[in-house]
Amino acid sequence: MYKLSDPFDYLNDNSYSKSNPEAFWDEVAKKNVFWDKMYDKVYSGDEIYPDWFKGGELNTCYNLLDIHIKNPAKRDQDALIYECPFLKKTIKLTYYQLYEKVCEFSRVLLNLNVSKNDNVLIFMANTLEPLIAMLSCARIGATQCTLFDGSSVKSLIDRIETITPKLIITTNYGILNDEIITFTPNLKEAIELSTFKPSNVITLFRNEVLDETKLKKVQTIPTIPNTLSWYDEIKKLKENNQSPFYEYVPVESSHPLYILYTSGTTGNTKAVVRSNGPHMVGIKYYTFRKESDIPQIVFSHTNIGWVSFHGFFYGLLSGGNTLVMYEGGIIKNKHMEDDLWIAIVKHKVTHTFPSPSVFRYLIKTDPEGTIVRSKYDLSNLKEIWCGGEVIEESIPEYIEQKLKIKCLRVFGQSEIGVTSFISVHALNIPYRATGVPSIYIRPSILSEEGEVLNSNEIGLVAFKLPMPPSFTITFYKNDEKFKQLFTRFPGYYDSGDLGYKDQRGFYTIVSRSDDQIKIGFNKIQLNTIDTSILKHPSVLECCSIGILSPDCHTAPIGILVLKENPSIDLNKLQNEINNIITQDIESLAVLKKIIVINQLPKTKVGKIPRQILSNLLNDPNYQLPDDVNDSELFYKIKELYMKN
């Protein structure tokens, strides 16, 4: 007879979830979630469209805030900490203070006739206000869609016409890479050109810049006509003697909580939909299952609008922990060398989730970890989480052997909503492996024909249906595309990743399936080539691309960022890199060409959009997606490619 482990025991819970899944999820849901109306069935529906916790009613905001403010030990604990080195600003909100602000803004939404049948579009900077808006939407039962900064006019038009929001909430500017970035100019144009018009727009007018030149820039940012002011709408409540909305609206378990656009690494964004009940149960179990009751203080510089931020935000609050959020981005050298670690020390952070690019940089500039360890007291930092993309084994090895901090490898997808693979310390998983499947997730390594492969054979990673409660219920207004996830291998979700399982049952994700190229009769993973390129001491970052020649043969090229000023002999550099590739892989994988550039294009979560680069270099008629970040970098790479 199984029971949920307490403290967390991977082997116990994994066996429990597989031997009696309905009893497992029933215990999770009843133990961890407050239901206004208990569900009738744990699981119903079918494998592709499971109806988890049918008949149940709950409120996500209540489960994140109200539960904690009723606990004297929690109400005055920090829930959110905002950190912005550029503005020299730190703001802390306890659970009670956050609750008051959310109830206050919930009343603002109700005054604008926003209800549980409405969508709200949030296009804001990485500040506390969008989080207040997200929780307020949940409190009144509305569905929110939060977008990342830098969205183009065309992508904003698409989002507005697809989401059809009753209300749009925005801000005039944000901070990224020590620069002011604007929000309202693109949004103003998008609203003007869109066939759908929101009933109202609320703008958070920020005015925190100290530099006089930058202050003048802020003062010239266009304003959206007839916009309401965030602060004025809250001020009206007091003028009209209106109390905050301390009540809440219970919604059906299947009611959509949020719509989230994926990162677009492959140039193909999807609008993931998550429902309240399954999402709440999933994050309560999967996110931050702990071995003690001591609150975690987690620092993430991930921007709002991404699945990783949503996971941290909802997950940490569900467990009564503290989220340290960051405005500005960890992009420049000084951010990776100092700003990241200053924030960790300042707030006594226990866990952090930096981009793998941070450690690729430190491996080159601080190979023994002595500079970081001598400058900063990291004694409170218990664990560094690393993932979000395929990582080479040198990264967890560096974190544990040089920085002397435990490293937890994680891997997941926007569709799944939680980590699909995780490295459990008690199992002594080797650095080269991604980890073991998260509880209840059941992967198989399949051939292109759908046959299960043997140990150490690289194949397609597919997950046995049904997927866990956290999985997306559909793609918003595009169910046909959603169903395509399950058509290739009936009974499985096709993740689009390549990987293998070793003899001990540990899984390694090697790449996206479209990051594999065929050279002759051999299949080569491009990130394997990347790993070899990074061994060269002059290379700081890289991305290999398969180039298709007129005779239909494929050969890789390398796009490199060098550690020093690139006055190096490029022919010599290419030969040295190819010698490494030949030793690590084989001679057929050597680079046909190298391109040296000052910076690689990346998504907002730090991933290199390899598929978009490949399309751009291979197809002369290819047009970059409208919401691609740093389009000038893509065109610069293409220009250099065409010259050489």
223 and 265 part of one domain:
yes
CA distances for 356 relative to 3, 101, 102, 360, 606, angstroms: 36, 35, 34, 6, 8
State the pLDDT at residue 604.
Answer: 63
Residue-range definition of the domain harbouring residue 214:
57-276+289-329
pLDDT grade, residue 504 (50/70/90)?
very high
Q: Return the minimum-mean-pLDDT range out of 3-17, 255-269, 579-593.
A: 255-269
483 and 589 part of one domain:
no
pLDDT grade, residue 446 (50/70/90)?
very high
Q: Within a domain: residue 410? A: no
pLDDT at 290 over 60: no
pLDDT at 218 over 90: no
Contacts 24+ apart (CB under 8 A), 332-340: 332/177, 332/178, 333/361, 333/365, 336/361, 336/362, 337/362, 337/365, 337/366, 337/371, 337/372, 338/375, 339/85, 340/301
pLDDT at 292 over 60: no
* Cα–Cα dist 422/435, whole Å: 5
Determine the straight-line distance between the first and last CA of the chain, rounded to whole angstroms: 67
Distance of CA 51 to the CA centre of its chain: 25
Q: Is the pTM of this model over 0.85?
A: yes
Q: Which residues contact 146 (CB under 8 A, 6 or more apart)?
A: 122, 123, 124, 130, 134, 258, 260, 304, 305, 310
CATH number of the domain that residue 572 is part of: 3.30.300.30
pLDDT grade, residue 288 (50/70/90)?
low
pLDDT at 349 over 90: yes
Residue that terminates a domain, selected from 490, 516, 542: 516
Q: Within a domain: residue 563? A: yes
80 and 115 part of one domain:
yes
CATH number of the domain that residue 307 is part of: 3.40.50.12780
Q: Which residues contact 56 (CB under 8 A, 6 or more apart)?
A: 29, 35, 37, 38, 39, 40, 252, 253, 277
Q: Within a domain: residue 372? A: no
130 and 253 part of one domain:
yes
Q: What is the domain count for the chain?
A: 3
* Cα–Cα dist 184/205, whole Å: 10
483 and 557 part of one domain:
no
The predicted-structure confidence for 518-570, as pLDDT tens digits, reads as follows: 776 677 888 889 888 988 988 888 889 988 876 667 889 999 989 876 578 88
Residue that terminates a domain, selected from 452, 483, 516: 516
Asked, as a colleague might, if the bond just before 7 is cis with ω within 30 of 0, I would say yes
Query: Token digits for 308?
Result: 């990783």
What average pLDDT does range 71-90 have in this prediction?
A: 95
Helices (H), ranges, 95-241: 95-111, 128-140, 153-163, 184-193, 212-219, 230-239
What average pLDDT does range 355-362 have in this prediction?
A: 91
pLDDT grade, residue 513 (50/70/90)?
confident
CATH number of the domain that residue 464 is part of: 2.30.38.10
- Asked if residue 36 lies in contact with residue 59, where contact means CB atoms within 8 angstroms, the answer is yes
498 and 546 part of one domain:
no
The predicted-structure confidence for 148-199, as pLDDT tens digits, reads as follows: 887 889 999 999 999 999 999 999 999 998 889 999 999 999 999 999 999 9
506 and 530 part of one domain:
no
Q: Within a domain: residue 493? A: yes
Q: Within a domain: residue 486? A: yes
576 and 450 part of one domain:
no
254 and 310 part of one domain:
yes
State the pLDDT at residue 607.
Answer: 72
State the pLDDT at residue 521.
Answer: 67
Q: Within a domain: residue 245? A: yes
State the pLDDT at residue 458.
Answer: 86
Q: Which residue has the higher pLDDT, 399 or 517?
A: 399
State the pLDDT at residue 512.
Answer: 79
Q: Return the minimum-mean-pLDDT range out of 199-208, 275-284, 317-326, 530-539.
A: 530-539
Q: Within a domain: residue 553? A: yes
- Asked if residue 443 lies in contact with residue 463, where contact means CB atoms within 8 angstroms, the answer is yes
145 and 225 part of one domain:
yes
Among the listed residues 263, 499, 280, the one whose alpha carbon sits nearest the alpha carbon of residue 388: 263
Judged on CB neighbours under 10 Å (0-12, 13-18, 19+), 389 is buried
State the pLDDT at residue 572.
Answer: 92
Instruction: State the residue for tokens 């604007």.
Output: 182
Residue that terminates a domain, selected from 516, 540, 562: 516
Q: Within a domain: residue 388? A: no
122 and 184 part of one domain:
yes
* Cα–Cα dist 451/363, whole Å: 40
Write the secondary structure of 466-515 as one string of H (helix), E (strand) and C (coil).
CCCCCCCCEECCCHHHHHHHHCCCCCEEEEEEEEEECCCCCEEEEEEHHH
The predicted-structure confidence for 595-627, as pLDDT tens digits, reads as follows: 999 888 877 666 788 888 888 998 888 888 776
453 and 529 part of one domain:
no
Q: Which residue has the higher pLDDT, 512 or 481?
A: 481
Judged on CB neighbours under 10 Å (0-12, 13-18, 19+), 154 is middle
Write the secondary structure of 384-409 as one string of H (helix), E (strand) and C (coil).
EEEECCCCCCHHHHHHHHCCCCEEEE
The predicted-structure confidence for 247-266, as pLDDT tens digits, reads as follows: 999 999 999 999 999 866 55
